[in-house]
Amino acid sequence: MEDFANLIDRLIYTRSRNGKLDLIADYLREASDTDGGWALAGLTGGLDFPAVKPAAIRTLIGQRVDPVLFALSRDYVGDTAETVSLLWPQPGAPAAPPGLSETVVALQAMTCGSVQTDLAALLDRLDAKGRFALLKLATGALRIGVSARLAKTAFAQAFTLPLDDVEEAWHALEPPYAELFAWARGQGPKPDAAHRPVFRAFMLAHPLGDEQVDLADYAAEWKWDGIRVQLVRMGGQTRLYSRGGDDITASFPEVAADFTRDGVLDGELLVRGSHQGGEEGGAASFNALQQRLGRKQVSARMLEDYPAFVRLYDVLFDGGEDLRPLPWHQRRQRLEAIMPHLPASRFDLSLLIEAADFTALSLLRDGARDAAIEGVMLKRRDSAYSAGRRVGLWYKWKRDALTADCVLMYAQRGSGKRSSFYSDYTFGCWTAPPEQGGELVPVGKAYSGFTDEDLKWLDSFVRQHTTNRFGPVREVEKSLVFEVAFDSIHESNRHKSKLAMRFPRIARIRRDKPAAEADLVATLQAMIPH
């Protein structure tokens, strides 16, 4: 556990991507295979310890430290795991620290009845650094700037393996990935995922900058505003995976039930209907889809009100045949041939955009304000389906962002490296001009778009202009204006303003603009696509 704790500590303070890769790779080469496997599972979110809840941790520290002292310390530090690890009283004669594998086995064995005793016993055997790593691992909230993709890349780097092969084998295995390490160390065959319903890495696109492409070489299609999904049917089982490789089959059982043809398809998961900005029979806005996301059980009413379908982009496997090495135009032909064999109510084809040249395509893109369109995808016609982002093959060309001037209303501390800063900002617009009695209502929340210097200034502003506190949230004086950029805006009954922004971020801090001159809710309502 000490080596894993040192790894976590060093990753937190390493900004460089290559630096993080080297740290993880070095750890994996030196650790036992079992410890390395559990470390990878922890770094990639592959562990779950149901008995270890934040409430249980707060109860434990409350039995050992004055609750007022803990509350004040937590507010100052901004992170529960770090606060507990620092305040936890060190026993007089601690036992030897547990190893990572011993720790994981102990966490897995904990129950709601035993967690208070068993978790305390582990914490007593560790120093502050080890306690911090343990609590982060136990709650699944590492937040150390390491994505699942980066961890897998580090594994491939550690053992000089092709990343695509690692990615594909990964999803066929369970932690601690014994077969993966055996293959990596030359002690076993490559894990076979060929006939199993496992996730295959997506091909991704680079943002298109100022350059132009020749439409003779590139095909264009709309970039739909849903979630990218992979449909897999192998060995008599069907799975639906998100872009990150999460199994979301249970959230969309009707989609899985209607995909009965062996193969692997790539597409965009959308909701059918005319509610919330969508056209009748077409795709509704992302806000409609959001009603379905994350649900482990879906009611009959939800299935009726928000019927899901997939707009298909590509085919990776047709039956057992791997089509990924084929050029895009041949895979497109195969996908078109597959479409008549799929239920039209559940699957349709993402149509190609006909444009005479790049200038004409640009005009079509600028005029596209459909609720479910984000922009345009450009795909090189001769490109194989390659995992990850490959320069020059696929581009995403998003619509220009919408903007609005909004007033900062509330702030909350961030997580990880931002745990000491007020970096999450809720902002609002006026229901009517303030001189006519209008009030500010929240219209969105953002935690990106600003520089490190901006963050320091904003954190100072929040601390100096706090007017009220609600637990971890500070209400601030309504005087600072943000220019907020967002991809689209839709109706939403979940918010007081009846609006929901898609991908809001802080474009500019308008210190020059009086709060009374910020935008009205009606201005945002006029931006809703119809």
Contact 311, 350 (CB under 8 A): yes
Give 182's contacts (C-beta < 8 A, 6+ positions apart): 33, 188
CA dist 475 and 465 (Å) reads 8
Structure tokens at 372: 């479910």
Q: Which of 20, 136, 152, 223 is catalytic?
A: 223
Residue 204 is inside which H or E element, if any?
strand 203-204
CA dist 20 and 43 (Å) reads 12
CA dist 286 and 375 (Å) reads 14
Residue 398 bears catalytic tag: no
392 dihedral zone (left: phi>0; alpha: psi -120 to 50; beta): left
Structure tokens at 198: 């496992």
Beta bridge partners of 418: none
Structure tokens at 505: 């971020």
b/e map 385-399, b = 16+ CB within 10 Å: bebeeeeebbbebbb
Contact 331, 314 (CB under 8 A): yes
CA dist 135 and 163 (Å) reads 30
DSSP string, 41-52: HHHTT----TT-
Find how far residue 514's CA is from the centre of its chain.
Answer: 35
Beta strands in 225-262 (DSSP E): 227-234, 237-242
Angle at Cα 14 formed by Cα 28 and Cα 89, nearest 5°?
Answer: 85
Structure tokens at 415: 């997580």
Residue 473 is inside which H or E element, if any?
strand 473-476
**Which residues have a catalytic role annotated?**
223
